[in-house]
Structure 1
Amino acid sequence: MCADIDYKAQSHYVSRLHQLFGNQGKKHLDLACGTGPHIRHFIDFGYQSSGLDLNQPMLDLAKVRCPEADFILHNMCDFTVEQPLDLITCFLYSIHYSDGIENLKKCIEAAHAALAQGGMLCFNSVNCDKIDNRSFVRHSANHEGSEFTFSSGWKYCGEGERQFLTLSIEKQSETEKQLWNDEHPMVAVNYQELTALLEPYFKVHIFQHDYEKILPWDGQAGNAFFACVKRD
């Protein structure tokens, strides 16, 4: 599913944002870290990284990939840390796994409480008002003699605080064809609402969703990258 994701480019992009807007510290936590690919790059960039996720099997793989890092099995909506952090990240739109606006607010509050002065919360997000239910992305990868085709797309009914990430995986080999379909409920929020949730706690910078260039959000694109600096 993740064969086309450039984890290094994403990690490097955030490290550049942190150099520009952050407090220059190196204590980092990745929310919804999965198997730790982003953490691996942050460690290589010189950060003291840790990860948080709800899935223990993924954390087990993350520990193999990043033995230097600490990992926490916990919900990102109510986490706490022992020592203040300088950077908190949440990649791959995982901030939307907060179930409802109230839990999203709790996640923002938890991140603010966990950060040191001048620390940053960085994540990407999709604007529910811009979702086209007909749009999807698709890519293929070969693995162990089979071809896998992965499709994903956002769905939103136009009202309420729930949207869905729809997933499809097709496996094609010489002898069989298999198809898996799934749908993940996620919190729906537009950028006016999201900014209003963030601003009591952070100075909010919104950028174009382009990991090669740091450009201000144009106000039109349906996805963007948020770089949020903790308010005193």
Structure 2
Amino acid sequence: MSSPSTNALYTDLSGYYDLMCAEINYQAQSDHVRRLHQIFGNKGQNHLDLACGTGPHVRHFLDFGYQSSGLDINQPMLLQAKERCPEAQFTLKDMCRFSVEQPLDLITCFLYSIHYSDGIEKLKECINSVYNALNTKGVFCFNVVDKNKIENNSLVRHTAEYDNSHFVFSSGWYYAGSGEKQSLKLNIEKTTQDETQLWQDEHPMVALSFHELEKLLQPYFEVHIFEHDYEKIMLWDNVSGNAIFTCVKI
């Protein structure tokens, strides 16, 4: 049995979000960005995580000693984030249009969520909001995929058992080859006894090359591009299609 495709997938399945991301090493990602911040940052520890979801990265930054907070457009996610991080502040807001009361030293956006800026103009708004929210020498760190390197037939897949049900999660990028839009295709299959439910969704996202992104960032930031490897810090090899952008406010 299948439910209809809906853009409210994450709202409907917010209770399964952590299960869907169970294989993500949040600690390694958080620690890697902390190391980058130590190298490039201003030594301050006011942190905001954009598109924070249920708050796993915020939890790690709190444990590192940061004054960490989160922002997301999904209220059910934020309720779970608050349970995980009761000492943190969470804000229901679009990351393309936000402001802060106190300037920040580090802004992060993990899990390719920067692409949720649907279109180049929205991405520009996000970059401007980040710039205005950061202290001088503040750092904006995020991971991103180059539209020209996307393999449309490539999927990431994993399974999980939860609450007497078997889950199969798969996701992959799709880019038509032109324009500023790509999509994230997501499939979730849940089997309980002999009944199977299938959710299929496609999220519109901004598409751009690393070169195009660097041009957008350079008026605001000193831009450093690193390999998408959370175990070591290496400059991007100009070949791979995934990278970690570390941007220091000028």
TM-score bucket of the superposed structures, by smaller chain: over 0.9
For residue 182 of structure 2, the aligned residue among 154, 157, 163 is 163
Q: Partner letter of residue 213 of structure 2?
A: L
Task: Tell me the CA shift for residue 223 of structure 1.
Answer: 0.8
Q: Counterparts of 2:86 and 2:163 in 1: how far apart (Å)?
A: 27
Match of 1:18 in 2: 37
Match of 1:208 in 2: 227
Match of 2:195 in 1: 176
TM-score (norm 1): 0.98
TM-score (norm 2): 0.91
Match of 1:220 in 2: 239
Match of 1:122 in 2: 141
Of residues 145-154 and 120-129 in structure 1, the stretch that sits farther from structure 2 once superposed is 145-154
Matches within 5 A, 1:124-163: 124-163=143-182
Q: Counterparts of 2:120 and 2:182 in 1: how far apart (Å)?
A: 12
Describe the superposition over 1:189-218 as per-residue Cα deviations: whole angstroms up to 9, x where unpaired: 111100000011011111111111111111
Task: Tell me the CA shift for residue 177 of structure 1.
Answer: 1.8
Q: Counterparts of 2:235 and 2:111 in 1: how far apart (Å)?
A: 19
Match of 1:96 in 2: 115
Q: 1:60 and 2:97 equivalent?
A: no
Matches within 5 A, 1:31-70: 31-70=50-89
RMSD of the TM alignment (CA)?
0.8
Q: Which runs of 5+ in 1 are unaligned?
A: none
Q: Counterparts of 1:201 and 1:140 in 2: how far apart (Å)?
A: 42
Q: Percent identity?
A: 66
Task: Tell me the CA shift for residue 174 of structure 1.
Answer: 2.6
Q: 1:229 and 2:248 equivalent?
A: yes
Alignment length, in residue pairs?
Answer: 231
In the TM superposition, structure 1's runs of 4+ consecutive aligned residues that sit over 6 Å from their partners are none
Q: Which runs of 5+ in 2 are unaligned?
A: 1-19
SS of equivalent to 1:60: helix
